[in-house]
Amino acid sequence: MRVFNRVKASRKILIAAVALTTTAGLSIVASSGSAVASTSKKIGGSVSIWAEWTSTEQQDFKAVLQPFEDSTGITVHYTGKGSNMDTALDAAVAGGSPPAVALVPDPGTLNTLAKKHAIQPLASVIGNEAKNYGSAWTSLATYKKKLYGVWFKGANKNTVYYNPAVFAAAGITSTPTTWTALLADEKTIANGGTYAPVSLCTDIGWPVADLFQNLFVKLNGAAAYNQLAAHTMKWSNSDVTNTFAEMAALVGTGGSNLLGGMKGALADGSFPSCVTGVFPSSGSPTAAMVFEADFVTTSVPSKYTPGSGKSCTLSATASPCYDTFNFPAPSASAYAGDIQGSGDVAMLLKSSRQSKALIKYLASPSAASIWANLGGFVSPNKKVPLGAYPDTVARADAKALTSAKAFVFSLDDLQVGWEPQLWADMLNVLQDPSASNVTTVEALMDKQATTALGH
Amino acid sequence: MTVVSKVASVRERRVVALAKRLRVSKAAVNVILALVAVFWLVPTISLLVISLRPESLFGASGWWTVFTAPSQLTWGNYATIFSQGFASGGVLDSLVTSLEITVPVTILVAMISSLAAYSLVFGSWRGRDIIFLVIVGLMVVPLQVALIPVVQLYREMGTLFGLNPYGTIPGVIIFHVAFGLPFGIFLMRNFLTGIPRDLLEAGRIEGAGEWKIFYRIVLPLALPAIASLAIFQFIWVWNDLLVALVFLGGNVHTPLTIFLYDQTRSLAANYWIVSTGAVVSIFVPLIVFFSFQRYFVRGVLAGAVK
Amino acid sequence: MTSIAAEGPRVAAPRGSHRRGWWRRNWVSLAFLAPGIIWLLAIVVYPTIATIRFSVYDETATKFVGLHNFASVFSTDAILTAFKNNIIWVLVFPFFVTFIGLMVAVLTERIRWATAFKTIIVMPIVFSTTASALVWRTIFDLDPHIGVVNAIEQTVSDWFATPGAYPLNSSIGQSAASLASFNATGGPGGTLVTKSLVHPGGTVMMGLTRVSAVTLQTLGATTPVAPKKMAGGIAGLVWNDFSPLQTSNTTTIVSDEHGLPNLRLSLVSSTGSSVGSTVTNSSGNFSFTHVAQGSYHVEILGSNFQTAFVGTFWLGSQSVTPTSGLDQTAQSLLSVPLIDLAMIISYIWIWAGFAMVLIGAGLASLNREVLEAAEIDGATEWQTLRRVTIPMLAPVLTVVFVTMVINVLKVFDIILNMAPGSSQGPATTLALSIYNDGFTGGIHSGLASAIAVILFLLVVPAMLWNLKKIKG
């Protein structure tokens, strides 16, 4: 697949190249020209950078780095760590040979490293580019009032991916905008008998946590969410219990709304294989929807075109499509506009002319625009023009992320010390949503959170 | 034993009866063992077949249908994974990395263990047995126990000598050698105790020094044991995942086990590609195994039964 | 160079020169030993001591916390789960692998193709556990099109209970009643029965949903036709009451709906006895002729919905022992997740060759005469094995057994690679916990070190026992 992705990546780069020469791309060229010009004196030398991106994403990120290397003469050594990013960085810091710059997927690591003085404050490095980010993002990269990170990549988790042809086959003509409508559509699809409503990603529990978090913020709002994240709200709070109940309704009794039932969801729910049920690379889909953040796009086979319409087919080899809708909120919710997401934050571990130039470049809209153009990427950077995104799906996604009324960061990523236990607890409730089990697990979660966070 | 006192005719009858019973059970034994052999072969065959079937057939029909439709077989998956050549992140690059780690470790462990075992067996100083027991005692140390401190030790080496082995192939090699030594010394010592001291004494009388005796007399005799140890060590290190995961996390070149682990982690559903990588990964140890099977078995024996 | 023969006069040697003599005699020997010793001290001994030290310090390794880390080990459910799993491994794996090793070793002596057989059994040892775990993950896959175990289960299960034309999907908890849409309700024995009564000369319609379009296509279903009244008989229709065109309409026939062919029906009188049976045609229509006066229900037989086989989730964390009603901690201690058994089977596949080789060698060194004498004495083979062979092999068997105990105390990569994400937590072991707590998601070096120390303490007695046996 890594190899398949590479084929896809080169195709994407080609598209990007074409886009850059068209009018839509001109603004990007203009802006990137100016940003690069500010660091245009050839500096030379080299700089190392780590991030979790491998395969397609690695290719895309290298495309981002290319103009920087060309204009500054700095050679950038990029290493994609995949799921080992945390491990590798922890060990590298402990081992005394960290990269100059690292992008991590959670503010928890940023805080830990800042506490250890393993990373450098950035205010003086990036200057005005700091203003490109909304306050929610800035505060997530701040430790003891100092800015330590640049949110290069965002992830909007307020998305539901669906196969338009499956919706059409079930007779659903418009995507659900409310929670009730979503549950009704699930029933319609189930009644059709051919497709499962949902292919649920379970993995080691993080996708279930994402699902829970989406529901929680929509039901209870960002303020309550942040209290729960800080454990100033207890897990045994009725807000949590209600959210679990909604989650159980979505999943259906015994997982009746899930592809393969509960068993199937647990067996084949690792990410990204859960995406293949909805967007298979051969044959026909078996499920209609999959809930996860916008990075799902990267796992949708290249045959699929973004958007919906009459021309979308059920066959993976004819003209299949993919599309998204916003994760629906309960109809009367005052918090429908609150969204959950995550991102990758760039940190400076070794200070040098080269590494500072690289950090500054990553904070610029031009760097983000390049990847935006390649797809599967959203930037929290407000200065990145919507025109930089290649299609309507991506544009809607980016707009949702930068214009959200309230933005909250993935709660599990903030639970340093007990995150894996939280995931296990989520899987536990998923499998047994009975009131008695929910009570038991909530008590357990409070205990775990207290042990890990000290309160 | 008691048979001696028995009447000859009784004994003959019993032998005939025994022979009959054996003949009957022989057929049964053949059948049972044939079934066991099939059971043992199924996983390997399935791996091979999955790697040779196209993606589109993977979830659609079982790999076993290939026996009725051999036309399913294709080299497509291999073409795909080899298409990257030796570029980093590809399977061939990982193959080379695995060799770069495994070969030096094997040579170092064999050399250092032989020397140490020689010293422990033929040295004349007191306390050899205790040192041997302590070394053997180190076999009990699970390597997980040492990981965190060694990472920090490497950092200290970085600050002291400006040479930090963390994240480098030598760093992995150093760790593997250390954890290969207790077993290596144990195995070699057990073998060397079987060499008659007279042989050495003869050498000494002729005026040969220790190095010469080791090199000329003991080493040739110990060659089978060294071969066993080397094969063991090779296969262990080749198949290691944990140490590489911890120490090579930061390297662009990773051994095959990490290659497979990454692929399974990120693409659980794409077994056909992962299986192809797995076949590549078992290829080298299989060659080693079939070439040196005799030594391998001897190594197993020397290792545990004395 | 030194040699024993070249020693100087001993008697008159003063103390100092005696020591010098010792050095002179032994320095080469010690130099031979030195590289190994230095290496071991630096990378094995020192780190082990450091880990023991870490285990009584806090996460930053600066503050002494006594046994606090050990207390958290025993109060953390996730780590108790790891303990539990290690116990399961230790109780089950070494016994079976030794037993199987013994059996094949004894039997191999009787066959001509012993070399080939041994090669086959030994081969998996050389595969990486990563690759083996991958293979076994496919073998135990839930989907019978992928996993050979579930494919066999399916074949067997289909012999005993042939799936109906419209098999229920039990993986999502379907029941016949959940298919009912119009004028149908769940009856006894997984049947569907008409809600309304029907009389001779009347018609009856039943609507069902959740029937897969793929099934209908396979059965050649055509557009349903409204049943026409027939004298002295009952005409009817069973159709798939679902149309993408009108998803809310669930009472009438819509143009793109389909009849349900091949349904076996029964006509049930008011006394509950069956008075006739029939099968629907491709448009889902049916009729009962020559029906006596009275009121009837039409029943769709349960056999139509006989569940299709759903694979066993071998790689799942569901417990094979009952755990309901237990609290969280008791559950983590008492459940035996199915995946443990699947992984143990896989691990036996990897290691049985090792046991066989060792035991085979033990057998070869046994005194043949004793065995033959026993057989000639009239002992059956089983008696010989039990009374003579096994006792004589006892030292070897113990060594194999204990080696395997040590091996599974450290079991790690098979879990990391074989368990799907959702089973990683429930299937964890001590060695895996050390890795997860020590190297992923924020280093907990204190906790990880405490687990490492415990693992160390568990391994030591087994290892010492083994060494004693090997020496003796």
pLDDT at C330: 80
Please indicate if any CB of chain C lies within 8 Å of the CB of B115.
yes
Note the pLDDT tens digit of each residue in A103-161.
998 888 898 899 889 999 998 988 888 888 888 888 889 999 999 999 999 988 989 99
Residue A39: pLDDT band by 50, 70, 90 thresholds? very low
Residue A232: is its pLDDT beyond 80?
yes
Do B115 and C35 lie within an 8 Å CB cutoff?
A: yes
Residue A291: pLDDT band by 50, 70, 90 thresholds? very high
Residue A12: pLDDT band by 50, 70, 90 thresholds? very low
Beta bridge partners of C286: C236
For residue A221, is it left (φ>0), alpha (ψ between -120 and 50) or beta? left
- C window 240-269, beta carbon within 8 A of B: none
Burial C394-407 (b: 16+ CB within 10 A, else e): eebbbbbbbbbbbb
Q: Work out whether the CA dihedral A107, A111, A113, A118 comes out positive or negative.
A: positive
- B window 63-92, beta carbon within 8 A of A: 80-81, 83-84, 89
Q: Work out whether the CA dihedral B32, B38, B41, B47 comes out positive or negative.
A: negative
Note the pLDDT tens digit of each residue in A380-436.
998 899 989 988 888 888 888 887 778 899 998 888 778 888 998 999 999 999 999
Residue C89: is its pLDDT beyond 80?
yes
Q: Determine the residue of chain A that is closest to C444 in CA distance.
A: A417
pLDDT at B22: 56
pLDDT at A106: 82
* Interface mutation target, options B94, B265, B267, chain A, most CBs of A under 10 Å: B267
Please indicate if any CB of chain C lies within 8 Å of the CB of A127.
no
* Interface mutation target, options A115, A194, A292, chain C, most CBs of C under 10 Å: A194
Q: Determine the residue of chain A that is closest to C60 in CA distance.
A: A116
pLDDT at C244: 80
Do A266 and C209 lie within an 8 Å CB cutoff?
A: no
C-alpha–C-alpha distance, residues A302 and B220, integer Å:
61
Residue C421: is its pLDDT beyond 70?
yes
Residue B26: is its pLDDT beyond 70?
yes
CA A256 to chain centroid: 27
Integer distance in angstroms from the first to the last C-alpha of chain C? Answer: 36
CB A64 within 8 Å of CB A371: yes
Q: Determine the residue of chain B that is closest to C52 in CA distance.
A: B145
C-alpha angle with apex A220: A215 to A223, nearest 5 degrees? Answer: 120
* Interface mutation target, options C30, C60, C146, C150, chain B, most CBs of B under 10 Å: C146
Residue A46: is its pLDDT beyond 50?
yes
Q: Is C430 exposed, middle or buried (0-12, 13-18, 19+ CB in 10 A)?
A: buried
Residue B4: pLDDT band by 50, 70, 90 thresholds? very low
pLDDT at B266: 61
Which helix (H) or strand (E) element contains residue A106?
A: none
Please indicate if any CB of chain B lies within 8 Å of the CB of C33.
yes
Which residue of A6, A92, A281 is in closest CB contact with B250?
A: A92
* Interface mutation target, options B2, B20, B33, chain C, most CBs of C under 10 Å: B33
C-alpha–C-alpha distance, residues B151 and B248, integer Å:
11
Most confident of A415-424, B14-23, C349-358: C349-358
pLDDT at B21: 58
- From B196's Cα to the closest Cα of chain C, the distance in A is 17
Residue B112: is its pLDDT beyond 90?
yes
Residue B185: is its pLDDT beyond 90?
yes
pLDDT at A247: 94
Please indicate if any CB of chain B lies within 8 Å of the CB of C28.
yes
Residue B6: pLDDT band by 50, 70, 90 thresholds? very low
pLDDT at B24: 53
Instruction: Read off the pTM.
Output: 0.82
Kind of pairing between the strands at C203-208 and C234-240: parallel
* Single-letter residue type at B306: K
B263 neighbourhood in chain A, CB within 8 Å: 1-2
pLDDT at A279: 93
C-alpha–C-alpha distance, residues A342 and A348, integer Å:
20
- B window 266-285, beta carbon within 8 A of C: 268, 271, 274-275, 278, 281-282, 285
Q: Determine the residue of chain A that is closest to C418 in CA distance.
A: A267
Please indicate if any CB of chain B lies within 8 Å of the CB of C443.
yes
Q: What percent of chain A has pLDDT over 90?
A: 44
Residues 6+ apart with CB under 8 A from B258: B94, B241, B244, B245, B248
- B window 22-41, beta carbon within 8 A of C: 22, 25-26, 29-30, 32-33, 36-37, 40-41
Residue B190: is its pLDDT beyond 70?
yes
Average pLDDT score, chain C = 84
Domains belonging to chain A, first-starting first, are 18-155+345-399 (3.40.190.10), 159-338 (3.40.190.10)
pLDDT at A128: 86
For C68-113, give the DSSP string: HHHHHHHH-HHHHHHHHHHHHHHHHHHHHHHHHHHHHHHHHTT-TT
Most confident of A109-113, A363-367, C361-365: A363-367
Higher pLDDT: A121 or A451? It is: A121
Q: What percent of chain C has pLDDT over 70?
A: 92
Residue C99: is its pLDDT beyond 90?
yes
B15 neighbourhood in chain C, CB within 8 Å: 376
Which residue of B142, B177, B285 is in closest CB contact with C410?
A: B142
C240 neighbourhood in chain A, CB within 8 Å: 193
